Amino acid sequence: MSAPVEHAGPALDVRRAGTRAVLVTFGTLAEVTAFRAGLEAEPVPGVTELVSGARTLLVRFDPERTDPTRLAPRLQTVEPVVPTRADVGEVTTIPVTYDGEDLDTVAALVGTTAAQLVAWHTGQTWTSAFCGFAPGFSYLTGSVPSLDLPRRTSARTSVPAGSVALAGEFSAVYPRASPGGWQLIGRTDVAMWSLDRDPPALAPAGTRIRFVDAGRA
């Protein structure tokens, strides 16, 4: 494991990640999101791309403009920005048919009805915290308290593309057929990944999502 990049100020875990990036590690996803928002609000010269993870932020840079030794102190001065429900901006709408195999099971698990669970899922704004697992798979966090659902005790060998799912504090849409252990509550025809788009991912980090009940619509 590489040693932290030396920098002044309070401890901020910044480590070299190759020749064109540094990796900043945090204790919670909320800290990652707030730090990224602060860095986007006050861009640091030389930074070319930000890639969020559950507890990390990969900061890519142009080596002709900066380097880890100069970049680390600048990152130290970033003021985190905590998003609020008052934040405005474009929202991507995803229609969902709520007939997932696990819908009734999840409703019973949290002590509610299937209709109430659908109302909870559609009644908030979701934000892409980071992407991973498969191209176009966005880990979405909600604007109301999460259900903190466990994954299935046994994963499915194949989850259909377009499946809308819940696990832990997240919701997601499977961009393609793949194995998976999340709780399936519905399905959508919206493509989460397409090489005909730029960027190909429908919901890169920071994208705001609103799920709509296709049956009611």
Q: 71 and 97 in one domain?
A: no
Q: 116 and 25 in one domain?
A: no
Q: 208 and 122 in one domain?
A: yes
Q: 63 and 95 in one domain?
A: no
Let me know if residue 86 belongs to a domain.
Answer: no
State the pLDDT at residue 5: 47
Residue 84: which residues within 8 A CB-CB, separation 6 or more?
none
Q: Indicate the DSSP class of residue 151.
A: P
State the pLDDT at residue 86: 43
Q: 151 and 113 in one domain?
A: yes
Q: Cα separations (Å) of 151 from 171, 183, 188?
A: 12, 6, 20
What is the spatial order of strands in the sheet that 126-131 belongs to? 91-96, 208-213, 126-131, 138-141, 170-173, 163-167, 183-187
Tell me phi and psi for residue 124, to 5 degrees. Answer: -145, 165
Q: 148 and 64 in one domain?
A: no
Q: 148 and 198 in one domain?
A: yes
Collapsing DSSP states into helix, strand and coil, what is residue 13? strand
Amino acid at site 73: P
> The CATH number of the domain where 41 resides is what?
3.30.1360.40
Q: Structural domain of residue 136, as residue ranges?
A: 91-213
State the pLDDT at residue 88: 56
* End-to-end Cα, the chain, rounded Å: 52
The predicted model scores a pTM of 0.80
- Over residues 77-131, the pLDDT tens digits come to 999 987 655 455 689 999 999 999 999 999 999 999 999 999 999 999 999 999 9
Q: 208 and 105 in one domain?
A: yes
Q: 184 and 157 in one domain?
A: yes
Let me know if residue 3 belongs to a domain.
Answer: no
Let me know if residue 171 belongs to a domain.
Answer: yes
Q: State how many domains the chain has.
A: 2
Q: 97 and 71 in one domain?
A: no
State the pLDDT at residue 10: 55
Let me know if residue 175 belongs to a domain.
Answer: yes
Low-confidence ranges of the chain (pLDDT < 70): 1-10, 83-89, 217
Q: Indicate the DSSP class of residue 149.
A: B
Verify cis geometry, omega within 30 degrees of 0, for the bond prior to 63.
Answer: no
